[in-house]
């Protein structure tokens, strides 16, 4: 299952810079992951300061 970003996101952008397939973009008040592009590497979860990305 792809990763998804919860409402805990503080929109810092750190995860988007780490994603190897550029699946993360800035959304409305938080960042969002394109589930069809995500390869489930977990880099975003390892980078996020608030633990917002999790495997859905
Ligand atoms: Fe990108 Fe990996 Fe996070 Fe998927 S799990 S959004 S591929 S950094
Ligand atoms: Fe949001 Fe975490 Fe990504 Fe920062 S690293 S934009 S807090 S999901």
CATH of residue 41: 3.30.70.20
Residue 8, phi then psi, degrees to nearest 5: -70, -15
User: Residue 48 has which token pair?
Assistant: 């996020």
pLDDT at 14: 98
Residue 4, burial from CB neighbour count under 10 angstroms (0-12, 13-18, 19+): middle
Domains held by the chain: number: 1
Q: Which of 2, 4, 5 to mutate to test the pocket of ligand 2 (most atoms within 8 A of CB)?
A: 5
Residue 25's closest CA among 12, 36, 16, 14?
16
Q: Is the pLDDT of residue 45 over 90?
A: yes
Domain limits for position 8 = 3-55
Give yes or no for residue 38 CB within 6 A of ligand 1: yes
Give the pLDDT confidence score for residue 3 in this predicted structure: 98
The pTM of this model reads: 0.95
Q: Given pLDDT bands bounded at 50, 70 and 90, which one contains residue 56? A: confident
User: pLDDT by residue (tens digit) across 1-29?
Assistant: 899 999 999 999 999 999 999 999 999 99
């Amino acid at each position: 299952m792809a990763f998804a970003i919860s409402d805990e996101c503080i929109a810092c952008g750190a995860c988007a810079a780490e994603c190897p397939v550029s699946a993360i973009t800035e959304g409305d008040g938080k960042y969002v992951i394109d589930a069809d592009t995500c390869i489930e590497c977990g880099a975003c979860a390892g980078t996020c300061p608030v633990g917002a990305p999790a495997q859905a």
